[in-house]
Structure 1
């Protein structure tokens, strides 16, 4: 049962220990993982676990497992028997999924199109590009893909890590989002040097280059999608893969971030209009015009 795991709640003034379950809100846990750039700068990654009203669990993304973390998950989920599904939301967060599958092979696995293309040893149950899959656990859990960005085949793979599936859990008022939005309560020196401010939200830096489609309308499609997301999802907390968790006040902070980005959206739109006046998408890219919800018709 959920109560079997000793509750730990984040202290916003401190960095969270890695590979431990933290209770973010009712029936929602987050785990901080390590991901280092050049073996020096740890920009972290994450996994969240959500308990559905039927008593079963969704695992949102995965991290490298330790014996202690496995014991905590086993205790929470009856040795994995109550894990209903594992959902990989970010096309490039792949490294820890195979090992997690080896530990919990009975769960149903759902991923992005890139997961399905790359990790062929996993028997994927469904593709998150299918809106019917994203709606599968409503109203307990809601999922959406941002407009104006490439989800199916993001290029170049070395730098375009902007978009992922946003996951909202109304019961805990918590939003799980990977690279698109970043947050650090106390960024380290290297992050400060490149412009990150403590306690502030930021969009992934790829928004300034390959993150959005190279069309004049793409920045505004993304902005309007974000506005609708903020209107529909009344979250208080946000769990960001990079670099941490914000407890309370997250909705207002994301709204502030979006409003402050208006000059950037205008600049990107003008640049794209000049370089790409016909609004053509690169070969292999897919338009995403879905602003208001997850229409399936």
Structure 2
């Protein structure tokens, strides 16, 4: 996938990057640059910017400043050191796993999953973390959960892994999430092995669809942007829930 920066909406730019499996199949990855109401900027997630994209970011920011880098996915850590080195004055936020795995970086005490972050940036973003699943799975192959961020001004939802939307050619075009919004396929492994976890997840997803019904587009893992019709988001979440109903039902049968 080409590394590039795309202007999705007023105040919102999406940076596309490479993430290759086995060095061959490029799933793609993303970060976003967002202008805040105060005129400053934040990054959502980190990526090592190629020189031309880096120059474009600096041009966009201009005389303003990048005040923070919000690393929202606990297992996306490869580019955090580069991003901090490139924007050293930006406050560095991450999840508990970021701080654990990269302890030499100057992480803010407030974690991205904390209510305090939502309070700090609540005028610009709504944040949501899935329920019924841990944010950080003990099985490090399970990358289901992340902190979802909705940019209020543009209605753009930035999400990694929890919701996926692929627009790829073969062989990835054979995956069931290609061309439609879906929950990440690791949901079955991610659900907490306790009674009620499936219901907690379902209720969280329904509430997300209702509360974020005005979402206008989704910048989704791993490589595509889904433009939405007015009021379409709740229906897409409902359809995605319908497709994981067997997973949720099986969890209820096993744990109650």
The structure with the largest alpha-carbon Rg is: 1
Is 2:206–2:234's contact at 8 Å kept on the other side of the alignment?
no
DSSP 3-state at the match of 1:84: strand
Residues 256 and 246 (structure 1), Cα distance of their counterparts in 2 relative to 1, 3 Å cut: closer
Alignment of 1:99-178 (within 5 A): 99-125=82-108, 126-151=110-135, 153-157=136-140, 159-178=141-160
TM-score of the pair, normalised by structure 1: 0.79
**Offset at 1:28?**
0.7
DSSP 3-state at the match of 1:189: coil
Is 1:216–1:268's contact at 8 Å kept on the other side of the alignment?
no
With a CA cutoff of 8 Å and minimum separation of 6, indicate the structure with the bigger relative contact order: 1
DSSP 3-state at the match of 2:173: helix
* 1:69 and 2:53 are equivalent in the alignment: yes
Runs (5+) with no aligned partner, structure 1: 1-16, 278-297
> Which residue, out of 204, 222, 228, partners 1:242?
222
Q: Within 1, Cα distance between the matches of 2:39 and 2:208?
A: 27
Match of 1:32 in 2: 16
TM-score of the pair, normalised by structure 2: 0.91
Match of 1:47 in 2: 31
Count of residue pairs brought into register by the alignment: 254
Is 2:210–2:234's contact at 8 Å kept on the other side of the alignment?
no
Segment drifting more, 101-110 vs 187-196 = 187-196
> Which residue, out of 197, 202, 211, partners 1:232?
211
Q: Within 2, Cα distance between the matches of 1:257 and 1:231?
A: 9
Is 1:84–1:107's contact at 8 Å kept on the other side of the alignment?
yes
> Which residue, out of 244, 249, 254, partners 1:264?
244
DSSP 3-state at the match of 1:261: helix
Is 1:52–1:58's contact at 8 Å kept on the other side of the alignment?
yes
**Offset at 1:260?**
4.7
Considering only aligned residues, what root-mean-square deviation do their CA atoms show, in Å?
A: 2.0
Runs (5+) with no aligned partner, structure 2: none
Residues 260 and 172 (structure 1), Cα distance of their counterparts in 2 relative to 1, 3 Å cut: closer
Q: Within 1, Cα distance between the matches of 2:72 and 2:230?
A: 20
- 1:188-246 per-residue CA deviation (whole Å, 9 max, x = no partner) reads 2112334343x3112111013x1222234222212211221221221110001212111
Residues 228 and 195 (structure 1), Cα distance of their counterparts in 2 relative to 1, 3 Å cut: closer
Report which of the two has the higher share of strand.
2
Is 2:215–2:233's contact at 8 Å kept on the other side of the alignment?
no
Match of 1:286 in 2: none
Match of 2:202 in 1: 223
Match of 1:195 in 2: 176
* 1:184 and 2:184 are equivalent in the alignment: no
Q: Within 1, Cα distance between the matches of 2:112 and 2:175?
A: 33
Is 2:99–2:107's contact at 8 Å kept on the other side of the alignment?
yes
